[in-house]
Structure formats: C-alpha cells, structure tokens
Structure 1
Amino acid sequence: MADSTWKDGILLKITNVLVYFLFLGSNIYTPPGPFLIWSLIHVLLLGTVIYQFFPGGKATVVDAISWRFPLLAILNAVYINVWASQHYIVAFIFSLLVSSAVTHIYYIVKKHHSPQSYADELFIHLPFSLYHWMDNCVWTKVFVFLAFFFLEGDLPASIAIAWSLWAIFVHQKSSAFVHWSALAFAILALVWVLKGAFGLFHRGRGGRVALGDEERAPLVG
C-alpha cells in the first residue's frame, strides 16, 4: 500500500524534481540583500518537491497543482534567459506568462486546498504565497514606474493613468498589497493631474499678448 502511494503520479513527481534542480535550485544562492526572499522561496520549494512524495503533499502538489509547477519553472527559466540576453520585449511577454502561472497556482492552493497540517502550510501555502506576493511587488513597481514616467507634462496621459490606478484600487481586492498600493499611487497621480492642468493653464495665460494703453487707443480720433 505504501509503495502504491508514493508511486502514484510518479512521472509528474520526477518531473517536478528535475525542473526544480535544473531551473530553480540555483536561486537558493541569491546574494544577501533585497532579493534574499527569493532564496527563502526556493528553499521552501525544495521542501515542496520532497513533500509531494507524502500523502498530504501529493493531494495538493500532484493532484491539484499538477503540471503547472513544471510549467512555472520552465517559463521562469526562459524569462530569466531572454532578459539576460536583453530581448526585453520577449522577456516582458514571458514575465506575463510567469505571472499568470504563479497566480493560477496561488488561486488553486488558496481557494481550494486549505492547509491541513503544518507541513501543508510550510511547504505548499507559504512558498506560493510568497512567490505570488513578490510577483505583485514587482508588477506594481513596474506599473508605477511606467506611470510616472509617462505622467510628466502630459495631462491626458496623467488622467488616463490616474483613472487606471483608481480602477485597480476598486477592483483588485485579492491582494491587499496591490489594493492599497494602487490607492496610494492613485492619490499621487492626482497631484500630477493637477500639475499638468496648472501647467496647461499657465501656458495658456502666457500665450496671450498683453496690450498697453497706447496699443489699445483707437486708430482714428
């Protein structure tokens, strides 16, 4: 009975182990600093690929997450390589695919597989929650950077981006980080809207031709 349990889904289990060591394992050695969190995530994911051989882990890792984990690992590896090769447009596309994959895994784990033990919490929920959180951090920073890059001196763009940030705040409630970050930057975006409106008004006033008394005098009489 024990043999049949650990052999269930053995192809996927072996694939998970291979993709981890081929594509994710090197991230354990991230240098100390702000990105040290990635080392923690990948150490926890090592626990995930080990935990899948136990009945509690198999139920979620093999039966629920299924082939999405190797897909995530491969997409992430491709993204890193094309980014390192300075193919930024292709890298951007793959970053969207990585984000989609990790969000889907996070949704499955969070909504349909509540932790039944400390091992579930530590080796399944925690790594994918951190992965999803870091992914949101990166995308929020990228979006905000692009927003303020285009906001400067462009009133229509300022209004459009401010509106988008408010929309994100209203509708994005699955992630508290994104929700409240969007609110903060939406408020800041309004400052740029007011700044752009003031600049437009100021340029309009500056474009007028001021007439002196002699110039206003009638030509006849």
Structure 2
Amino acid sequence: MSKFHIFQKVVNVVVYLFFLSTTVYSVVGPAPEDGSASDGQTYITPSFWIEWVWTVIHLLLGAFVIYQWFESAHEQAIHGVGWHFVISVLLNAAWLALVKHNHYIIGFVFLLLTASSVSFVFYNLANNHPASTWYHKLFIHAPFSLWHGWIVFSAVVGLFQAFSHTSEEGPGVWSRIFVIIGLLFLTFTSVGYVEYKKQKGDITSAFVIALGLLAVFTNQSDNWIRWVAFAGAIVSFLYPARPYVFKLVGRNTEAENAPLLG
C-alpha cells in the first residue's frame, strides 16, 4: 500500500466523521415542531421517520471506512470508490446545510451534483468491480446502493421543494398530476434497480425507494396522492420477490440468480 493510498484512506475516515456530524442530529434529534415542519413541505414530502434511513447509511459507510484498510478491500476501495467518496460527502453536506436554511433551489442543484457523484460509484462498482465476496457486498457495495436509492428518492422530493408550494385548499389538479408522475417515476425506478442488467439486479436501492413511498403514504392526506404512493410502495416491496414466486410455481426466470446487492 503506497503512502498516497494511505493518505486517501485517512481522508475517507476524516470526511466520514464530518459527514456523521452534519447529519446525526437530524436523525437522533426530536421531530420538527409544527411551525418548522411546514417549511419545505410539499405534496410528496414523506413522514419524518424515513430520516432514519440516514442511520443505516452511516452505519454501512462507517463499516466501509473500516473495511477499506483490509487488503481484500484495497482494489475496490481505491479504484472502485476512489475520491468520489470524499466528493460525495462534501456535496451531500452542502446540500443538507442549504436545505436546513431553506435554500431549496441551490440545495437542489447540490443534490443533483451529489446524485451524480454517488451514481458514478454505484455504476463503477457494478460494472467494473463486481463483488466477489459477501464482505464486498455488505461493506462496499451495500452502502453505495443504499445511498444511491436514497439520493434518487430525495432528488424527486427536492425537485418539488424547489419549484412547488402547498395550499390550504389542498393540491390542485396539476399539482396532483405532477406528484403522481413523480411517484410513478420512483416506482418504475425501483423496478429498474431490480431489472438492472439482470445479473446486477439491486434490491437494496429498490427497498429504500419502497420505504420512501410508504413514508409519502403515511404523511399525505390527499387520497389520490397517498394511495398511488401506497400502490407504488407495494409494487416496490413485492417486485424483488418475483423470481422466488415464479420458482414456487415452477417457472424459471433469469432473475432467479440475480444477487441481492449490485
């Protein structure tokens, strides 16, 4: 291991601790009070409990920054993830800080930049550094699969935060249509994760989106929006089980051998 690679791994540890400090309060702290909870609310905003996804993301990323020091993880950590971990963390921290101060439009820009950086790692690992052991799957691939699914879900919510608003009368026809389009996009994206090049099917990201859709259902009151979100959540939860259902009824599919993690 070269001195430069040691330096890179040390930086990964430092930025991980920074990342943890910028988000942990929003997860373990109290839910927003009624007055502050209305800031940034949209017709697709999920329930606050979905923020606990951050806990799992941080735990897995913490496992990554520890596992990167093992020789078996060196190739994937250095060449599969590389400096994009540092870039993603800094962009993600900027996005959270901007949203906290109600700068939703510029925050959405940083959210897209974060999504781009995390996507690079997600697809680079899937295409060029496939997991060869369960350690690789759990400590390298899983954190970025989970993060990627969460960023995709957040990007849809962030879009509505930046360019829409709520009304005391409830959503109008066009607001309802656009929200439903967003929910359908998330549902098809979760299916796309599972179908991604068949052999690289990824249910981790799909599961995050399914939870997000369920959180939209539990938070919204408009019947059109909440029941479309519920239907999307059910599809997203059940679709990954499709190969096992087919297996039970005696039908073979290519997806039967798809790995759980990308």
Q: TM-score range by the shorter chain?
A: 0.5 to 0.7
CA distance in structure 1 between the partners assigned to 2:187 and 2:135 by the alignment: 34
How far apart are 1:26 and its partner, in Å?
A: 5.5
Q: Which residue of 1 aligns with 2:193?
A: 175
CA distance in structure 2 between the partners assigned to 1:165 and 1:38 by the alignment: 21
Q: Which residue of 2 aligns with 1:72?
A: 88
Indicate if the aligned counterparts of 1:27 and 1:39 stay in contact, CA closer than 8 A.
Answer: no
| Percentage of identical aligned residues | 26
Q: Which residue of 1 aligns with 2:8?
A: 12
* Alignment gaps of 5+ in structure 2: 30-48, 195-205, 214-223, 226-262
CA distance in structure 2 between the partners assigned to 1:65 and 1:86 by the alignment: 31
Indicate if the aligned counterparts of 1:28 and 1:40 stay in contact, CA closer than 8 A.
Answer: no
How far apart are 1:162 and its partner, in Å?
A: 7.7
Q: How many residues align?
A: 176
Distance 1:174 1:152, change over 3 A: same
How far apart are 1:174 and its partner, in Å?
A: 3.6
Provide TM-score, normalisation by structure 2: 0.54
| DSSP 3-state at the match of 2:50 | coil
* Alignment gaps of 5+ in structure 1: 182-187, 190-221
Provide TM-score, normalisation by structure 1: 0.63
TM-superposition CA deviations, 1:143-183 (whole Å, max 9, x none)? 6887997x83459x95x88889888888996435479x8xx
TM-superposition CA deviations, 1:96-129 (whole Å, max 9, x none)? 1111111221111122222122211111111111
Equivalent residues in 2 for 1:184-199 (5 A)?
A: none
How far apart are 1:24 and its partner, in Å?
A: 2.8
Relative contact order (C-alpha < 8 Å, sep 6+): which is higher? 2
Distance 1:7 1:82, change over 3 A: same
1:113 to 125, 129, 137: 129
More helix, by proportion: 1
